[in-house]
Chains A and B, each alone.
Chain A
Amino acid sequence: MAYRSFVLICSGTGCESNKSGVIFDRMAKQITEKGLQSEIQLVKTGCFGLCERGPIVKVLPDETFYVDVKPEDADKIVEEHLLKGRPVKNLVYQYEESQKNIKIENIPFYQKQFRIVLRNCGVIDPENINEYIARDGYKALEKALFEMTPDDIIEELKISGLRGRGGAGFPTWRKWVFTKDVQSDVKYVVCNADEGDPGAYMDRSTIEGDPHSIIEAMTICGYTVGAHQGYVYIRAEYPLAIRRLEMAIRQAREMGLLGKDILGSGFDFDIEIRLGAGAFVCGEETALLASIEGNRGMPRPRPPFPAISGLWGKPTVINNVETWASIPVILLKGGKWFAQIGTETSKGTKVFALTGKVNNSGLIEVPMGTTLREVIFDIGGGIKNGKKFKAVQSGGPSGGVIPAEYLDTPIDYENLQKLGSIMGSGGLIVMDEDDCMIDIAKFYLEFTVDESCGKCSPCRIGGKQMYGILDRITKGKGELADIDKLKQIGRAMQKASLCGLGQTAPNPVLSTLRYFEHEYRQHILEKKCAAGSCKELVFYTINPQKCIGCGLCAMKCPVNCISGEKRKPHTIDQSKCIKCGNCYTVCKFGAVIKG
């Protein structure tokens, strides 16, 4: 019997932690109580992307898009919408009386997006292989096994122009050819799911929402290069993704889509999961392989590249989650179709985790060549609280800041690199006028210093020295010579570090120096932080013209450094002030000045 309505409830990690599981259970209970279980199907899906407004519940076929749903809203949605057919207005995203409910394609957040990697996220139940199959899942594998030779597959990938989505953008087909052409009794296929950039969760969401796409792609790769064993290296901090992947592997095995004699083709391939302990450097491919082997996760020099000599010295194709997820679509729709999307050098789409001072934080997928402005202002809905855009950091701690004058740059590998940043795995962090660029650089550097494996001296010592200099500058103890020192160390790290972590770690510093050197100088020479975020350089004063002497600031001051008679202007004792900012926040008259 057909259902008259489907309710899709996001069960990605973000919405789950906001109790979407409870919402699901309550709705299920209500539906049962109301005897609707044969009419309405509840589905737990992967991420919808608009994480800013989660938990998200979507009702089909009318496409009502509920946001910010709370457990107590569950009853109401069942009662009002599912039983009586009346959308719960206050929960519908951007409700307008004329339209009743806004269709997803009309929501600005989704308008400029194009979903290939995330095609099934928020659409299917990731825990049910049949839903994946119903959306053409494993069709690409079937096509590969029965209609294509390994060379055909590589040719299709070559035409598609797909480049590695892990960050460096190496052409995927080339990696595959290297491994395919090496003579070896054993070869391996590895999925790099060791996503670790602060604020990035593209890979996690992809696996949570569509685990079979990874399994299917890795199996296709195994067939292409002649490997029979695959490993997914995923960090243990992703329990939901791990559980869904385990479930998917089990289901695929049961249906003969993994294991011996896949689909009767005679081809054997299986996948195992390896859990990472969360070291950022294990996202570097050689460190990742060392970790799978059971060794300390430290990079080793390349060449030899893993494609020739990888896991246990055997040829190994290693691709990132997003790269894998693109592959079944390429085989089904053709490389040509994929190559139509994007720019000259960068084809297809890119998933970004858009975060920071932007209205619509979330997971987005856009065609390569979309401009930063479109991403931040059209999709992201602009800057929070009407503040001014200052810069966007792409590529996480390995990337750099891009200032406002380059907002119209179409996003692709080469353009971002020219601007001193990188594509990276896809973190986009938006900053506004309240963000101090030195503080931002310090934040990222602190991360890479902490995550450096410590093997090579440029990264181990260089990062620590740069961090020390930035710390001094943000405390008003910098010297002009520090700017040259930062550049000197940064260059040495870029050139002499062993792996990508160390080579890119100075990027946030060097790119902020490139675009915001005046801020560094201001910190050093004027001992001033214009953004007001470096505590040691911020001073709070009271404007006697505006102060009415209400005494609220003095009451809220934790160190009692504000004094003054009632109804007379107050003053702040600078020697006692700890710069907590309470006075600035509580003053209703704008009398407290931060500067």
Chain B
Amino acid sequence: MEMIQIKVNDIAIEVPKGTTILEAARKAQVNIPKLCNHPDLPPTAACGLCIVKIKNNPKMIRACATKAEPGMEIITHDPELYQVRRTVLELILSNHPNDCLQCPRNQNCELQTLAADFGIREVPFTQMIVEHPVDDSSPALTINPAKCVKCGRCVEVCQVMQNVWALEFIGRGYNMRIAPAADVKLIDSPCVKCGQCTAHCPVGALYEKDETPAVWEVLQDPSKHKVVQIAPAVRVAVGEAFGLEPGTVLTKKIYSVLKRLGFDAVFDTNFGADLTIMEEGSEFVERFVHKKGVLPLITSCCPGWVDYLEKYYPEMIPHFSSAKSPHEMVGVLTKTYYAQKTGISAKDIYGVSIMPCTAKKYEITRSDEMRASGVQDIDVVLTTREFTRMIKASGIDFLNLPDMDADSLLGDYTGAGVIFGATGGVMEAALRTAYYLVTGKDLGKVDFEETRGLEGIKRATIDFNGVKINIAVAHGLANVQYVMEEVKEALAAGKEPPYHFIEVMACRGGCVGGGGQPYGATDEIRAKRAKGIYEDDKQSEFRCSHHNPMVQKLYQEFLGKPLSEKSHELLHTHYHERPLYNR
């Protein structure tokens, strides 16, 4: 790597060529204020706060969008820069409701932090608030134009990172705002509800639909049997809201707090993940060994991805695994298997899923098949963020709770179940079981390093005792197109597709980087969360889904075998082409 010498506030430092001034300044222990820049995204240069001076240049330039040049002498802070930045910040605040106490981002807002850092006591300019209605048409996400600071992150995320193109800039000048293209409602747009816009929004302009009031209400209802489950990625992220390092595994504390909150049964989505592997792994064997159905098989446990495929790649629907996502499997079994065992009527059971995901809020009503139990299988989805707010509101000293276990009927899981939370995890878990199903033997070493890590597309060939299996793992929806195009091209040319099995996760890093996870995710944080996931896997007694005793019991007692008629009725679904825009 070519290194260059520069000076930041007279401090000589060396940085790799191509480093932005913003990054370079950090190496000189200087933080330049910013509101629009985000490490995941190309600079939009919108906010105007990161301006710096360069010696012999009369202009102030943006540190986020300007690369350091050899010999550059940068001034990041002086009274004039402070004054200009402060005025820009005051202007932004003059165009913001500043109703922090009632805001979803209170104490977690980048604008609020800036205002505090600058010691803003009053805004000298006239308060001007955008008067445009809130768009709460989506079951997953809400846009509040009044709070938007027009940083453009959500548009970049939606277009560049996710390739969804639901969000766009509408209008211009003071009236410019963020909305779906053609100014349709979010629900009628190509939005796939991944929620990455909410995870990247620096303020409270885009946020998950808050379902906590519904859950609080049900928790007081003695007529309901309250059942809850947590997704794999929640356990490694929830601690961040309590000052812990990303990746700290808090599974047993979470079970404990859920019991204290008043849930009657606590299950784990990881159980459903093991079950998904049994069904999906068998589906793969059917297609791969018995040639029943088309290859490649594509995973379908990510609802953002499901929505995306139905909108952008409907011709690939036959390749999609028909297995439902893990939490839907737990949901339907709660209201059938568990209901049967406990003698509680399905309609009296209230199922809550705590997910790292906003798209799950949409998934629970995406088709009639999500009512396989006869009632809606999952009643409500909370994101990790909503869950942490509930813990805080409950007054429970979360971190000092005694550990507890989940209710084992639908709560015990293997290491294969937990790794669903990281990109490549579904593939790895599937390979562990598929190997057994194809070869009749168990793997010696169950770790597949090929599928792990934050590389956007991971391709590998796995040796199944002499049989070669080509796989691809993509995460971050913008990466999907390359894999899909390879497959489509091969199919169109009448050739063998380059892959047998493809895993796709809508969010970068997989569910650990989900749109419902705690704010502030970067690759560093995603990697730490994933590390926690893999540690949990390593410490598990069982590491392959087919070894899960409770799953085995479920098949014996209730389902029969994978892909049985009962399995199909309860655990599988269909997909339909959906229009990009509803008109």
Contacting A at CB under 8 A, from B19-76, are: 43-49, 51, 59-60, 62, 65-67
Contacting A at CB under 8 A, from B169-193, are: 169, 171-176
How near does chain A come to B81, taking the closest CB pair, in angstroms?
9
Task: Check B550 for interface membership: any CB of A closer than 8 A.
Answer: no
Chain B interface mostly = loop
Contacting B at CB under 8 A, from A237-290, are: 279, 281
When chains A and B are docked, how far (Å) is the Cα of A460 from the Cα of B125? 14
Task: Check B316 for interface membership: any CB of A closer than 8 A.
Answer: no
Query: Given A457-B47, A497-B48, is A450 in contact with B169 using a C-beta cutoff of 8 Å?
Result: no
How near does chain B come to A453, taking the closest CB pair, in angstroms?
5
Select B172's contact among A303, A452, A485, A498, beta carbons within 8 Å.
A452
When chains A and B are docked, how far (Å) is the Cα of A498 from the Cα of B85? 14
Report which A residues bind B (CB closer than 8 A).
279, 281, 296, 298, 300-301, 303, 449-458, 460-465, 468, 485, 488-489, 491-492, 495-498
Indicate if the CB atoms of B169 and A298 lie closer than 8 Å.
yes
Q: Which residues of A contact B176 (CB under 8 A)?
A: 453-455, 460
Indicate if the CB atoms of B125 and A465 lie closer than 8 Å.
yes
When chains A and B are docked, how far (Å) is the Cα of A464 from the Cα of B149? 15
Cross-chain pairs A/B with CB under 8 angstroms, 12 sampled:
A281-B172, A303-B67, A451-B173, A456-B46, A457-B46, A457-B47, A461-B94, A462-B91, A464-B173, A465-B94, A492-B88, A495-B60
Indicate if the CB atoms of A456 and B169 lie closer than 8 Å.
no
Most buried by B among A303, A449, A453, A460: A460
When chains A and B are docked, how far (Å) is the Cα of A461 from the Cα of B171? 15
Which residue of the partner chain A has the closest CB to B42? A300
Report which B residues bind A (CB closer than 8 A).
43-49, 51, 59-60, 62, 65-67, 83-85, 87-88, 91-92, 94-95, 124-126, 128, 149-150, 152, 168-169, 171-176
Which residue of the partner chain B has the closest CB to A450? B173
When chains A and B are docked, how far (Å) is the Cα of A458 from the Cα of B88? 6
Select B84's contact among A279, A454, A492, beta carbons within 8 Å.
A492
Q: Which residues of A contact B48 (CB under 8 A)?
A: 456-458, 496-498
When chains A and B are docked, how far (Å) is the Cα of A455 from the Cα of B44? 9
Q: Which residues of A contact B62 (CB under 8 A)?
A: 301, 498
Q: Which residues of B contact A460 (CB under 8 A)?
A: 95, 150, 173-174, 176
When chains A and B are docked, how far (Å) is the Cα of A134 from the Cα of B51? 54
Q: Which residues of A contact B60 (CB under 8 A)?
A: 495-496
Select B45's contact among A281, A300, A463, A488, beta carbons within 8 Å.
A300
When chains A and B are docked, how far (Å) is the Cα of A461 from the Cα of B172? 12
Indicate if the CB atoms of A461 and B152 lie closer than 8 Å.
no
Q: Which residues of A contact B125 (CB under 8 A)?
A: 465, 485, 489
Indicate if the CB atoms of B92 and A279 lie closer than 8 Å.
no
Query: Given A465-B125, A465-B128, A491-B87, is A456 in contact with B174 using a C-beta cutoff of 8 Å?
Result: no
Indicate if the CB atoms of A453 and B45 lie closer than 8 Å.
no
Indicate if the CB atoms of A457 and B175 lie closer than 8 Å.
no
Indicate if the CB atoms of B91 and A301 lie closer than 8 Å.
no
Select A454's contact among B85, B124, B173, beta carbons within 8 Å.
B173
Q: Which residues of A contact B92 (CB under 8 A)?
A: 457, 461
Select A449's contact among B49, B51, B169, B174, beta carbons within 8 Å.
B174
Indicate if the CB atoms of B91 and A457 lie closer than 8 Å.
yes
Q: Which residues of A contact B87 (CB under 8 A)?
A: 462, 488-489, 491-492
Q: Which residues of A contact B94 (CB under 8 A)?
A: 461, 465
Indicate if the CB atoms of A456 and B128 lie closer than 8 Å.
no
Q: Which residues of A contact B51 (CB under 8 A)?
A: 495-496
Query: Given A279-B172, A489-B87, A495-B51, is A454 in contact with B150 using a C-beta cutoff of 8 Å?
Result: yes
How near does chain B come to A498, taking the closest CB pair, in angstroms?
5
Q: Which residues of A contact B44 (CB under 8 A)?
A: 455
Which residue of the partner chain B has the closest CB to A449? B173
Indicate if the CB atoms of B47 and A296 lie closer than 8 Å.
no
Which residue of the partner chain A has the closest CB to B62? A301
Indicate if the CB atoms of B173 and A452 lie closer than 8 Å.
yes
Further 9 A-B residue pairs, CB within 8 A, beyond A457-B149, A463-B174, A495-B84: A281-B172, A301-B62, A460-B173, A462-B91, A464-B128, A464-B174, A491-B83, A496-B85, A496-B88
Which residue of the partner chain B has the closest CB to A502? B48
Count contacts between A and B, CB distance < 8 Å.
Answer: 114
Chain A interface mostly = helix
Q: Which residues of A contact B124 (CB under 8 A)?
A: 485, 488
Select B175's contact among A296, A454, A485, A497, beta carbons within 8 Å.
A454
Query: Given A301-B45, A465-B126, is A457 in contact with B88 using a C-beta cutoff of 8 Å?
Result: yes
Nearest 4 Cβ contacts at the A-B interface: A454-B176, A301-B65, A492-B87, A496-B48
When chains A and B are docked, how far (Å) is the Cα of A495 from the Cα of B53? 10
Q: Which residues of A contact B152 (CB under 8 A)?
A: 455
Q: Which residues of A contact B65 (CB under 8 A)?
A: 300-301
When chains A and B are docked, how far (Å) is the Cα of A463 from the Cα of B174? 9
When chains A and B are docked, how far (Å) is the Cα of A488 from the Cα of B149? 21
Which residue of the partner chain B has the closest CB to A472? B126
Q: Which residues of B contact A449 (CB under 8 A)?
A: 173-174
Indicate if the CB atoms of B91 and A296 lie closer than 8 Å.
no
Q: Which residues of A contact B174 (CB under 8 A)?
A: 449, 452, 454, 460-461, 463-464
When chains A and B are docked, how far (Å) is the Cα of A450 from the Cα of B176? 11
Which residue of the partner chain A has the closest CB to B47? A457
Select B95's contact among A452, A461, A492, A498, beta carbons within 8 Å.
A461
How near does chain A come to B95, taking the closest CB pair, in angstroms?
5
Q: Which residues of A contact B59 (CB under 8 A)?
A: 495
Indicate if the CB atoms of A301 and B66 lie closer than 8 Å.
yes
When chains A and B are docked, how far (Å) is the Cα of A458 from the Cα of B125? 13
Q: Which residues of B contact A498 (CB under 8 A)?
A: 45-46, 48, 62
Most buried by B among A279, A453, A454, A495: A495
When chains A and B are docked, how far (Å) is the Cα of A296 from the Cα of B59? 26
How near does chain A come to B74, taking the closest CB pair, in angstroms?
15
How near does chain B come to A475, taking the closest CB pair, in angstroms?
14
Which residue of the partner chain A has the closest CB to B126? A468
When chains A and B are docked, how far (Å) is the Cα of A488 from the Cα of B84? 8
How near does chain A come to B108, taking the closest CB pair, in angstroms?
21
When chains A and B are docked, how far (Å) is the Cα of A468 from the Cα of B128? 10
How near does chain B come to A297, taking the closest CB pair, in angstroms?
9
Indicate if the CB atoms of A454 and B171 lie closer than 8 Å.
yes
Query: Given A460-B173, A460-B174, A485-B124, is A455 in contact with B46 using a C-beta cutoff of 8 Å?
Result: yes
Q: Which residues of B contact A489 (CB under 8 A)?
A: 87, 91, 125
Query: Given A462-B91, A468-B126, A489-B87, is A456 in contact with B175 using a C-beta cutoff of 8 Å?
Result: no
How near does chain B come to A94, taking the closest CB pair, in angstroms?
46
When chains A and B are docked, how far (Å) is the Cα of A279 from the Cα of B84? 28
Select A456's contact among B47, B84, B171, beta carbons within 8 Å.
B47
Indicate if the CB atoms of A458 and B91 lie closer than 8 Å.
yes
When chains A and B are docked, how far (Å) is the Cα of A496 from the Cα of B62? 8
How near does chain A come to B58, taking the closest CB pair, in angstroms?
10
Q: Which residues of B contact A458 (CB under 8 A)?
A: 48, 88, 91
Indicate if the CB atoms of B84 and A491 lie closer than 8 Å.
yes
Q: Which residues of B contact A497 (CB under 8 A)?
A: 48
Which residue of the partner chain B has the closest CB to A464? B174
How near does chain A come to B47, taking the closest CB pair, in angstroms?
6
Indicate if the CB atoms of B45 and A456 lie closer than 8 Å.
yes
Which residue of the partner chain A has the closest CB to B80? A495
When chains A and B are docked, how far (Å) is the Cα of A491 from the Cα of B62? 16
Q: Which residues of B contact A488 (CB under 8 A)?
A: 83, 87, 124
How near does chain B come to A294, taking the closest CB pair, in angstroms?
13
When chains A and B are docked, how far (Å) is the Cα of A303 from the Cα of B48? 16
When chains A and B are docked, how far (Å) is the Cα of A489 from the Cα of B125? 10
Query: Given A303-B66, A464-B128, A498-B62, is A453 in contact with B91 using a C-beta cutoff of 8 Å?
Result: no
Q: Which residues of B contact A454 (CB under 8 A)?
A: 150, 169, 171-176
When chains A and B are docked, how far (Å) is the Cα of A381 from the Cα of B168? 51
Q: Which residues of A contact B128 (CB under 8 A)?
A: 461, 464-465, 468
When chains A and B are docked, how far (Å) is the Cα of A296 from the Cα of B174? 16
How near does chain A come to B573, taking the closest CB pair, in angstroms?
38
When chains A and B are docked, how far (Å) is the Cα of A451 from the Cα of B174? 9
When chains A and B are docked, how far (Å) is the Cα of A550 from the Cα of B11? 83
Query: Given A458-B48, A465-B94, A495-B51, is A453 in contact with B88 using a C-beta cutoff of 8 Å?
Result: no
